Structure 1
Amino acid sequence: MFCKLFSYSHLLLVSIFTTSILAEWNTRDYVRREHSLTKPYQGTGVTVPYWDFTGSAIVTSNYVRLTPDMQSKNGAIWNTKPCETRNWELQVQFKVHGRGKDLFGDGLVIWYVRDRNQQGPVFGSKDYFSGLAVLLDTYSNHNGAHTHQHPYISAMVNNGSLHYDHDRDGTHTQLAGCEGKLRNMAHDTHLSIVYRDDTLTVSTDLEGKNAWKECFRVEGVLLPTGYYFGASASTGDLSDNHDIIAIKFYELDLLETQNKDDDRSNIIPSAASFEAPRDHVDDAKPAMSGIKTFLWMMFVAIVLIVLVVLGIMWYQKRQEQSRKRLY
């Protein structure tokens, strides 16, 4: 009996030891602390290890607020350590919420770029950037002639020469995108960005189901190592609270087909499926509404009536002066 118990205990210990080893090698459990941001943030004010803050960004005990629900605000958070990992996953827990029911904006961006702490017009960060931008555009009064609804999630890869056309919501330079209802949700909202074997996959959990739903997948995306992660947000005439709750970075194993000695630091960001930006064409002027048309026609009619009355008065006066000369 004692031998059986000893044997069972021995097998149990071996099983636990083996499981712990497997868990240790599970890359999903391998979080790189220097690229992650989780509660408690272990900082005060705007100071958190491995992260810098710019603009209107503030740190609280429960979230990092990039912008408050106020007009004309810009804020950003930037990782201080460059990413030297070739295959990685970035999971972002965020919350976008505000008082607006029909009108709100502008949105937030998750960045992997060469230049950090650069303020600019692209949701609070630099235009003509070099790297990757995953954009969550919430601007309700969307620009340009496209069919998708907002909020809208898209990606853009830039080598530093391309302009993000805010007037057209970036649809001229995006790789891919999908709609996503992410505002004023009662549950947590999450975004996953996976870059592995030169393939970019963006997924969401916006419905609180604890399961990823693929938004889009793009192959042939080349990104170098040594760039920086960040998040920025902005408001304009419309506004929202843009909060980052957590960022978790996972280092993924190299595939057998990948050479660990390859130097990826000098790669120029590009995408095989990227379309060259189309010419910027101004939108056609919208037709006048029925009320405006009615008012305009009424104004024209009044002007014509006044001219006719003045013409009649002038004619009658001329006739009267003519009769006086005859007598």
Structure 2
Amino acid sequence: MIWSEYLGVFLYCLSQVSAEWNTKDFMKREHSLIKPYYGSGIEIPFWHFTGSTIVTPNYIRLTSDLQSKVGAIWNSVPVNVRNWELQVHFKVHGKGKDLFGDGFAIWYAKDRMKEGPVFGNNDFFHGLAIILDTYSNHNGPHNHQHPYISAMVNNGTLHYDHDRDGTHTQLAGCEAKFRNLDYDTHIAIRYEKDVLTVSTDIENKAAWKECFQVKGVRLPTGYYLGVSATTGDLSDNHDIMSVRLFELDMPDDPQADEDRSNIVPSATFFEPPRDHVEDPKPSSLSGFKVFILMLVGSIAVVACVVLGIMFYQKHHENKRKRFY
């Protein structure tokens, strides 16, 4: 009995050692960003940052809570694994209570370090974008509140309509109140057997909650990971604490040996497009001109009332004279 117990312990320890050396069960260091961020000197190993990005000991700030800022951080090593999960620890916060923006995006894209209008990255991109949109002052009909998380797959031909949250090209989306929270907030992007699943941990429960899942998403290997953010007239701090990529061990994947390096990003499912309604054009009148018009209108109304009273009194007086 004693020898059988020793044998069981030995086999258990051997299994743990084997699991430890199975690199597919662990984070891919070359695609991950964790503290301490700096390597030798001031560079971050495997990562490059652009724009207004600031690296601190505790977080990487893509934009400060200031207007017209653009920042990004990009992995310098292409991702050549087929099935993966990306976990991002982030924080979005700022002074604004009713108006704030714009948000940030997590990228798996062909081109890196390309500044543009889509949350700091270029439009008509190739790849996948997970967009965390906080801008809450849209006029168009969107049928959702903000902040809002959505996914977009692009083959280089689609335009992201920022004014309408990209609702005409998104795969799916969900509302997520992740802004100005006092605890940690996380998002997980899982790509497994052509199924894209986005989950969040924003309720301080240390558990993932599914945001949405989309099947039939085909992404090539060899693209780059990145995170970008932007502010306009409205602003926020967009902070990244960590990025972790895990390769998923899928021994039963029937397409594990398929060469995906040259396929075109695509998706078999898109949400039905919503009616494209033009936003009301803002008035070209200044506040002073509006005040003058209101004042003139008020005077005109008072004058009409006074003239009406005078006319009524005159008419009544003439009527009395005819009786005498």
Whether these two folds match at TM > 0.5 is yes
C-alpha spacing 1:68/1:247, structure 2 compared with 1 (3 Å): same
C-alpha spacing 1:20/1:67, structure 2 compared with 1 (3 Å): same
Question: 1:80–1:228: 8 Å Cα contact kept in structure 2?
Answer: yes
Alignment match of 1:66 (pick from 54, 62, 66):
62
CA distance in 2: counterparts of 1:215 and 1:252, whole angstroms? 20
Question: 1:44–1:59: 8 Å Cα contact kept in structure 2?
Answer: no
CA distance in 2: counterparts of 1:172 and 1:143, whole angstroms? 15
User: What TM-score results when the alignment is normalised by the length of structure 2?
Assistant: 0.84
| Deviation for aligned residue 1:11 | 3.2
Alignment match of 1:181 (pick from 156, 177, 180):
177
1:139 corresponding residue in structure 2: 135
Q: Which stretches in structure 1 are left out of the alignment for 5+ residues?
A: 310-327
Alignment match of 1:14 (pick from 11, 33, 50):
11
CA distance in 2: counterparts of 1:143 and 1:44, whole angstroms? 48
Q: Secondary structure at the match of 1:96?
A: strand
| Deviation for aligned residue 1:56 | 0.4
1:316 corresponding residue in structure 2: none
C-alpha spacing 1:89/1:121, structure 2 compared with 1 (3 Å): same
Q: Secondary structure at the match of 1:19?
A: helix
Alignment match of 2:203 (pick from 207, 215, 221):
207
1:50 corresponding residue in structure 2: 46
2:187 aligned with 1:196: no
Question: 1:46–1:53: 8 Å Cα contact kept in structure 2?
Answer: no
1:221 corresponding residue in structure 2: 217
Question: 2:172–2:271: 8 Å Cα contact kept in structure 1?
Answer: no
Q: Secondary structure at the match of 2:296?
A: helix
2:99 aligned with 1:81: no
2:28 aligned with 1:32: yes
1:273 corresponding residue in structure 2: 269
2:93 aligned with 1:108: no
Q: Secondary structure at the match of 2:87?
A: strand
Let me know the Cα RMSD of the aligned residues.
Answer: 2.9
| Deviation for aligned residue 1:192 | 0.3
Q: Secondary structure at the match of 2:115?
A: coil
CA distance in 1: counterparts of 2:40 and 2:50, whole angstroms? 15
User: What TM-score results when the alignment is normalised by the length of structure 1?
Assistant: 0.84
CA distance in 2: counterparts of 1:19 and 1:66, whole angstroms? 39
Q: Secondary structure at the match of 2:121?
A: coil
1:261 corresponding residue in structure 2: 257
CA distance in 2: counterparts of 1:180 and 1:71, whole angstroms? 24
1:317 corresponding residue in structure 2: none
2:322 corresponding residue in structure 1: none
